[in-house]
Amino acid sequence: MPYWYHSGTMGWFGGVGMLVLMALVLAALVALVVVLARRGPQPPGPGDTARRILDERFARGEIDQEEYERRRGALTRAH
Using the predicted structure, report yes or no on whether residue 7 has a pLDDT greater than 60: no
What is the percent of the chain with per-residue pLDDT over 90, rounded to a whole number?
48
Using the predicted structure, report yes or no on whether residue 10 has a pLDDT greater than 80: no
Give the residue from 39, 40, 58 showing the smallest Cα distance to 50.
Answer: 58
Q: What is the DSSP string of 17-79?
A: HHHHHHHHHHHHHHHHHHHHHHTSPPPPPHHHHHHHHHHHHHHHTSS-HHHHHHHHHHHHHH-
Using the predicted structure, report yes or no on whether residue 3 has a pLDDT greater than 60: no
Using the predicted structure, report yes or no on whether residue 79 has a pLDDT greater than 70: no
Q: Where are the domains of the chain?
A: 43-78
